[in-house]
Every structure is written in C-alpha cells, then in structure tokens.
Structure 1
Amino acid sequence: MKRQKQLRAIHRDLGYFYLGLIISFAFSGILMNHRESWHPEKYTVESKAIEVTLPPEEQITEKFVEQFVKGLGIEDKFKRHGIKKGELRIAFENTDVEIDLKTGKGEIVTFKKTPFISQTMKLHKNTSNWWIYYSDIFGLSLIIIAVTGALMISVGKHTFKRRGWKLALAGILFPLLFLFLLA
C-alpha cells in the first residue's frame, strides 16, 4: 500500500509539473505534423506574383540565389534555398519565394508569425543546450509518468499484469508497424 501511494505521488506531481509542457508539445506536435501542407506558424500578409527567367537547375547555386534575390527587392534575412518538385524555393525570415523552374512564374509571399502558435512550435525546433537538457529531463519524466501510471493499480481485473500489458504491447506495436510497413 505504501508503494502504491509513492507511485501515485510521483505520477501526480510529475503530471502536474509538466502539464503545461505536455499540452504545449502535443499542440505544437499536431501543427508540426501538417507543416508541409499548411504553414501554421505564419500567416500571409502580402502575396505578389512574379515572372522571371532562371538558368538551368544545375546553375542555381547559393551564390546565384544571393544575387538573384537582390533583384527582387527583398530586404529580409536569407535562410536557405532549395529545389523541390520542379520549384525553386527561397526562404527568408519573413518571406518565402517559390518559382516554377520551367515557366519562371512564381510568387513572393510575405508573412508574419502567428502569435502563440509560432512560439509553441519553436519548442520543437529549439536546439540550444539548456533546452535539449530540459527536454531530455522531460522525456525521462514522461517515461516515469507512464511506468508509475501502469503500476499504480495493483488490485482487480484492470491491473497491468492482467490487462494493461496487452494494451501497452498494442500501443508499442502500432507505431512500430507504421514505422516499418507504412512509412
């Protein structure tokens, strides 16, 4: 009985302590799952159609892009460029440029960060040392929350030994199946 009370206390206190972070990670994780089709952390302020002449794909280097964007009049911090699905994509801090390589038609989209959503998604992308260590501690705490939750109930037909292990096994198998068979 004393062990059960200790498990409950650990489970409860870690759950309370990490409640905000769990909700924030879950929320931003859902948004991150859809970032390719919808850019949840930014909203469009202005969109401008352009038509330009581009060299062959193999000549589109970072040096070329740096010179090219000067002619577009974009005064924003350059982040990266790439070619994906026949489009030249150039990313800035608050501007995206997408141009079809064949036609030269594209658009310049200027956006602002979406309040709150942008900040929560930053949690998933942050790579500073202190955040990595804090996230590691959070991950270990989630493991402790899961284990203490599974071991709390020790009497009855809904214990881990009688029923919980089957559900836990199914919960482990589902992502593994998805990872190896569907991904």
Structure 2
Amino acid sequence: MKQVTIRNLHRDLGYFYIGLIISFAFSGILMNHRESWHPEKYTIETKAIEVKLPAEEKINEPFADSLGKALGIDDKIRRHNVKKGTFKISFEKHDVEIDMETGKGEIVSFQKTPIISQMMKLHKNTSNWWIYYSDIFGISLITIAITGAIMIPAGKFTFKRRGWKLAIAGLLFPLLFLFLLG
C-alpha cells in the first residue's frame, strides 16, 4: 500500500469511529468501577420495611413479584435470589433486600442516569446487529493500530527501529497483569 493510502485509511477510520471510541472508553472506565459506585443509576429514595417471609424453599418468582406489588412496586421484576441469609429482588426501578431471619430490609428506588446508562449498554448489548457492528469496530481498531504503526516511513521513530519495542511492552503488560491475578 502506498504511504498516502495507509495514512488516509488510518485517518478516515479514526474519524469515523471517534465517537464510538470515546463512548467505549468512557463507559469502560465506568464499568471498571461499577462495584464501587453505580454510575448507571442514582438513588431517589430508601425506605425501611419489615415483612414476614416464608421458608427459603417457598421463595420463587411469583412470590417475589407478588411481594413487590404488596410493597407498592409496580415495575417489572428482573431477578430474585436468596444468598447468605438475604432475600434480594431486583426490579427495573427498585431493589429490595430483606434479612431472612428478621424480615427487616429496605426498598431502594432509583432512576437511570441519563446518557451514562445508555452508553454503558454499549458494553452489555448482545443483540445480533450490535455484535456484528462491534466485530467490525474491533477489526477497524486493529487496522487503525497497524496503519498507525507503519505510517512513519523513515527515521529513528519508525516501527522497525523503535515502535516494535513499545508494541511488545504494550502486549506484555496486560499478559503479566493477568498472570499475577490468576
């Protein structure tokens, strides 16, 4: 490929995907810290409750749904579970946690954070069209990386003289991190 063609391909793919690159990077940072704080939603109200719960084996989705309705929650149930003595129900706009022994708990009402919650869906979306678009985006990022590496034709900062060392360091760092975590 001629130098001008590589540079043009690199530039045009960069321009085309700049919005998606920024959105993915920003929402990726938020996803990395989702256990510390919940960027997707913010709490509107927290209300203490006390209910009488049946034995754990009698807790199922219809029970969770009817309990939600009895507590004044009218949005769609997403999931429920009992773990470590706590009954949890997740609704679209509410979370309920109840201690299995005491029946004491709370209802947390929340709203989706505008823009941020939609951006974070980019990382979670599994619809067919989005998977294909993300695959094309991934291939384009590889193309941007390769064309960026070979764009500089001569001198001491070329990929051949210096760039390959940095590229290997860039590959080794996440691998080393994975081995240390594993």
Question: Normalising to structure 1: TM-score of the pair?
Answer: 0.89
Q: Which residue of 2 is the match for residue 161 of structure 1?
A: 160
Q: Which residue of 1 is the match for residue 15 of structure 2?
A: 16
1:95-110 matched pairs, under 5 angstroms: 95-110=94-109
Comparing 59-68 and 132-141, the one that deviates more: 59-68
Comparing 117-126 and 139-148, the one that deviates more: 117-126
**Residues 1-52 of structure 1 deviation map (CA, whole Å, 9 limit, x = unaligned):** x722211111110000000010011111111112222111111112111123
Indicate how the Cα distance of structure 1 residues 86 and 153 shifts in structure 2: closer, same or farther if over 3 A, else same: farther
How far did 1:101 drift? Answer: 3.3
Q: Which residue of 2 is the match for residue 4 of structure 1?
A: 3
Q: Distance in 1 between matches of 2:84 and 2:28?
A: 25
Comparing 84-93 and 14-23, the one that deviates more: 84-93
Q: Distance in 2 between matches of 1:79 and 1:101?
A: 20
1:27-176 matched pairs, under 5 angstroms: 27-84=26-83, 86-176=85-175
Find the residue that maps to 1:39 and give its secondary structure: coil
How far did 1:121 drift? Answer: 1.0
Corresponding pairs, count: 182
Comparing 106-115 and 8-17, the one that deviates more: 106-115
Question: Normalising to structure 2: TM-score of the pair?
Answer: 0.89
1:12 partner amino acid: R
Find the residue that maps to 1:99 and give its secondary structure: strand
2:178 partner amino acid: L
Comparing 8-17 and 90-99, the one that deviates more: 90-99
- Calculate percent identity across the aligned residue pairs: 74
- RMSD over aligned CA atoms reads 1.9
Structure 1 unmatched ranges of 5 or more? none
Find the residue that maps to 1:80 and give its secondary structure: strand
